[in-house]
Amino acid sequence: MRQHEAQTRTVMLVDLPLVYRLCDNGIILDSEVAYTRSANGPHGAILSHMILPQRNLHTLISRSDKQGVVGQFRLKPDDHLAQIMTVAPALTDEDADYTVWLHILDAMAAAAGQTGAQMLAGEIDERSPLFTVMRRAGFAVYARQEIWRREPEPLPDPVTPAELTEETDADAMDIQLLYSNIVPRLVQPIAVPSSDSEGYVYRQDGRVQGYIAVSEGRYGVYLMPFLHPDILFNEASAIIAGAIARQPKAEKQPVYVCVRRYQDWLEDGLARLGFTPISQQAVMVRHIAAGVRHPFFTPVVRSLEAIPGPAQPPTNRISD
């Protein structure tokens, strides 16, 4: 890999011609955006930061020699997490010079840290050449997930949709308890549903046993289920069917379900509803910042003057 000096900065109006050329060949690292509203294209989210800066979108560009790469991330509502939306163009060859892609990843991490985010995350297919580059840039795999797709068609007759209710403020405690019981602690900071989603609650004997976050867009409906393991397979199918039945757009658009590895027992129920797997992804995270204590240090000169004799080397005793 050749070493080049790269210039990285926030996208400006003068960069629009380059952005227009690159964005159609980008790779989306936010599955919710990818399957509901494409981030690429001349009217995609990568350009919306120019017009709608209040949406917490940040777009950067990195140039090295004749190469140019655009990267965009958005801040999640809880502020500690930043989500990469797209990198354009997509890296197509692992043997290519990927220096400029490293620069854009580092730049997004730095920019996210300046906004107060502690982690930068992206969802990517492990077969993508960018997966290797992200690992070199300090990203680690926190979880794995599979995306399932269902074409717009009536629900199968044997499945009766379960009764779901819309999420209310009174459900917050119960949903949080369900979330903490089924999501591994390592994954909890990054598995929070998008603020753009609507929540539906499933109760069993008065207890919240299921929660499904639903996002809609121009190109599809995206579901992220959180179902307690005590739920039976048939019940799981009915709960997901209940969420689909409440979405009018599901009659004309495909429905996607994101299944994290800790919920892979849902796969049989999804197959029963006519879903098929279309993508296996890794959820990659780079830690940006951590809490740092600032102790008070005595000036070194005064400390040395206070020592009455030569300093003794430390012993090997554990008590010392």
Helices (H), the chain: 16-23, 31-36, 45-51, 99-114, 129-136, 172-182, 233-245, 267-272, 300-305
For the segment 54-110, what is each residue's pLDDT rounded down to a tens digit? 468 889 998 877 788 999 998 876 668 999 999 999 988 876 788 899 999 999 999
For the entire predicted model, the pTM comes to: 0.82
For the segment 269-283, what is each residue's pLDDT rounded down to a tens digit? 999 999 999 999 999
Tokens encoding 275: 């879903």
Residues 57 and 38: their CA atoms lie apart, in Å, by 15
Q: How far is CA 142 from each of CA 8, 35, 132, 214, 273, rounded to the nearest angstrom?
A: 28, 22, 15, 23, 29
Task: Give 9's pLDDT tier (boundaries 50, 70, 90).
Answer: confident
What is the reported pLDDT for 216?
92
Tokens encoding 257: 């379900």
Tell whether the model's pLDDT for residue 292 goes beyond 80: no
What is the reported pLDDT for 4?
54
Residues 170 and 285: their CA atoms lie apart, in Å, by 32
Type of residue numbered 249: K
What residues pair up with 221 in beta bridges, in sequence order? 216, 255
For the segment 23-66, what is each residue's pLDDT rounded down to a tens digit? 778 899 999 999 998 645 444 555 555 544 446 888 999 887 77
